[in-house]
């Protein structure tokens, strides 16, 4: 039995009914978050929920709960579904109304759905590193919003997948932005580079955790764009996300990065990252 959350209630998955008129279907008109669960505990839930509210604000949507209530719903889903390692997915759409592009009447309530799912850490990829494929970034210019409109991301991920790669390395006008569902970091001569958190990338929660760790470790960081050409010459490259954690990149388009194995500084950051996960029982 899997309990989902929808509109104020915990309901069995099979019993859920969503409207065909939900604007999530028609327009991708909604926002979402993915929160990691380690050892039955939510990780950085407050930051994710805060970002959900920021995304909603940017698309002029009101969430009919407080941040605290949504964290509590995520916690309850985790507990009641007995999730040890996995994630919680939360989405809010602008509600169900006959299809017109402009917003529906203010009386139309946003639809909040959420579930928790058991999902092992991608241990082999974290350990061995992954291959990525460079793909042109064709997304809209508000990638800072975690919106349900993910077609640009979906097409990029599929292109990478068909090339036998785990992630697409997106580039716009020659500059590397991020992955299709992750942020990107490069290391050159001991300095860490990553795209600044502007409208061209999602400011990942894991990205922010890693930047915090770098500060604690006094590792120099430059939040500065770098080109696709420069990324081939990085000593190390890694991607970050809620589900991928810190994942070394060992090749782009079949060309090895550094020695083609996870680099020293990446390894160090992985170790320090693992230490601040809320439970020692992180599972695999």
For the bound state, the minimum distance from the C-beta of residue 4 to ligand PDD, rounded and expressed in Å, comes to 17
Closer residue to ligand PDD in complex, CB, 18/34? 34
Residue of closest CB approach to ligand PDD? 204
In the complex, least distance from residue 117 CB atom to ligand PDD, rounded to whole angstroms? 12
Which of 21, 41 has the CB closer to ligand PDD?
A: 41
Distance of CA 28 to the CA centre of its chain: 17
Specify whether 146 is catalytic.
yes
Residues that bind ligand PDD (CB under 6 A): 34, 153, 178, 181-183, 202, 204-207, 240-243
Between 57 and 154, name the residue whose CB sits nearer to ligand PDD.
154
Q: Name the active-site residue from 36, 133, 146, 157.
A: 146
Nearer to ligand PDD by C-beta: 116 or 205? 205
Q: For the CB of residue 90, give the shortest distance to ligand PDD in the complex, in Å.
A: 12
42 forms beta bridges with 37
Handedness of CA 51, 135, 212, 121 (dihedral sign): positive
Please, what is the minimum distance in Å from the beta carbon of residue 100 to ligand PDD? 28
Active site residues: 146
């Amino acid at each position: 039995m899997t309990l989902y959350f929808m509109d104020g209630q915990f309901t069995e998955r099979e019993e859920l009914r969503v409207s065909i008129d939900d604007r999530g279907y028609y327009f991708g008109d909604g926002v979402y978050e993915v929160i990691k669960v380690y050892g039955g505990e939510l990780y950085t839930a407050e930051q994710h929920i805060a970002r959900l509210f920021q995304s909603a604000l940017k698309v002029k949507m009101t969430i009919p709960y407080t941040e605290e209530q949504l964290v509590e719903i995520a916690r309850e889903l985790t507990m009641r579904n007995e999730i040890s390692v996995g994630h919680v997915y939360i989405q809010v759409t602008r509600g169900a109304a006959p299809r017109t592009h402009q917003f529906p009447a203010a009386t139309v309530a946003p639809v909040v759905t959420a579930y928790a799912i058991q999902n092992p850490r991608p241990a082999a990829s974290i350990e061995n590193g992954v291959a990525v494929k460079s793909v042109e970034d064709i997304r809209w210019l508000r990638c800072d919003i975690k919106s349900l409109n993910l077609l640009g991301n979906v097409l990029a991920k599929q292109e990478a997948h068909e090339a036998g790669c785990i992630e697409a390395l997106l580039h716009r006008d020659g500059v590397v932005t991020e992955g299709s569902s992750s942020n990107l970091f490069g290391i050159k001569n001991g300095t860490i580079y990553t795209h600044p958190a502007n409208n061209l990338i999602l400011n990942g929660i894991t990205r922010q955790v890693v930047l915090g760790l770098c500060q604690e470790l006094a590792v120099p960081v430059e939040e500065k764009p770098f080109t696709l050409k420069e990324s081939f010459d990085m000593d190390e490259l890694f991607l970050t996300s809620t589900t991928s954690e810190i994942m070394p990149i060992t090749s782009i388009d079949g060309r090895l990065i550094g020695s083609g194995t996870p680099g020293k500084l990446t390894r160090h950051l992985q170790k320090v990252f693992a230490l601040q996960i809320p439970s020692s029982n992180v599972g695999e």
